[in-house]
């Protein structure tokens, strides 16, 4: 994979090595750093579901949520594009079936762009990554599916 070899290139020793690697993080080329290569990317709607459950548990225990939790909770509920659980699950399935990277799945699901051009402008990695079969027609179709689900759940 392209990314693996890239990281190898920066694995030199010396005080600057770690720092340079951090500077090289760039979402438009899907360079997220080593720690996140195995991480799963969640959409805001996913996070909203998890935090909702967490809030219920905390409430049952009588714990007061922390300020960062409240901020995150408010934020995801304000910006999430899909509300119901089965919709979220379905959207994720459709996106993943497309052979997209997890990061792109999350970004598409969060931003819900309307056209292929918009999607590529917002998420440059859709265009930057070579060796992938992804033409505009397919992307448009995917975005239409997204839009349909979005209206359905609001």
Partner 1 sequence: MELTKELLLYPKHFGPNIRNLLREKLIYTVEGSCSGQHGFVVAVTDVVEIGKGRIREGGGLATFPIQYNAIVFRPFKGEVFDAIVTQVNKLGFFAQVGPLQVFVSKHMIPEDMVFDAQGALPAYVSQVSDQQPQRIAKDSEVRLRVIATRVDAAEIFAIGTIKDEYLGLLD
- Residue ranges that bind partner 1, judged by CB under 8 A: 25-29, 32, 35-36, 38-42, 47, 50-51, 54, 66-69, 71-72, 75-76, 78-79, 106-107, 110-111, 113, 118, 121-124
Min CB(36)–partner 1 separation in Å: 7
Compare residues 61 and 133 and give the one whose CB is closer to partner 1: 61
Kindly list the distances between the CA atom of residue 64 and the CA atoms of 4, 49, 142, in Å, as whole numbers in the listed order.
43, 19, 41
Min CB(83)–partner 1 separation in Å: 16
Q: Which of 125, 116, 112, 108 is nearest to 153 (CA)?
A: 112
Determine the 3-state secondary structure of 120 from DSSP. Answer: helix
What are 125's two structure tokens?
């990695």
Compare residues 51 and 149 and give the one whose CB is closer to partner 1: 51
Min CB(74)–partner 1 separation in Å: 8
What are 74's two structure tokens?
């408010």
């Amino acid at each position: 994979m392209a990314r693996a070899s890239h990281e190898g290139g920066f694995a030199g020793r010396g005080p600057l090595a770690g720092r340079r690697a951090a500077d090289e993080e760039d979402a438009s080329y899907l360079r997220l750093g080593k720690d996140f290569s195995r991480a799963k990317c969640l959409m805001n709607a996913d996070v909203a579901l998890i935090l909702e459950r967490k809030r219920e548990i905390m409430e049952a225990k009588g714990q007061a949520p922390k300020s960062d939790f409240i901020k995150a909770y408010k934020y995801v509920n304000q910006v999430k594009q899909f509300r119901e659980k089965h919709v979220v699950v379905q959207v994720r399935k459709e996106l993943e079936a497309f052979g997209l990277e997890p990061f792109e799945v999350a970004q598409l699901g969060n931003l819900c762009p309307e056209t292929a051009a918009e999607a590529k402008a917002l998420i440059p990695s859709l265009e930057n990554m070579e060796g992938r079969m992804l033409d505009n027609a397919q992307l448009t179709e995917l975005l239409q599916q997204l839009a349909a689900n979005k209206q359905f759940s609001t």
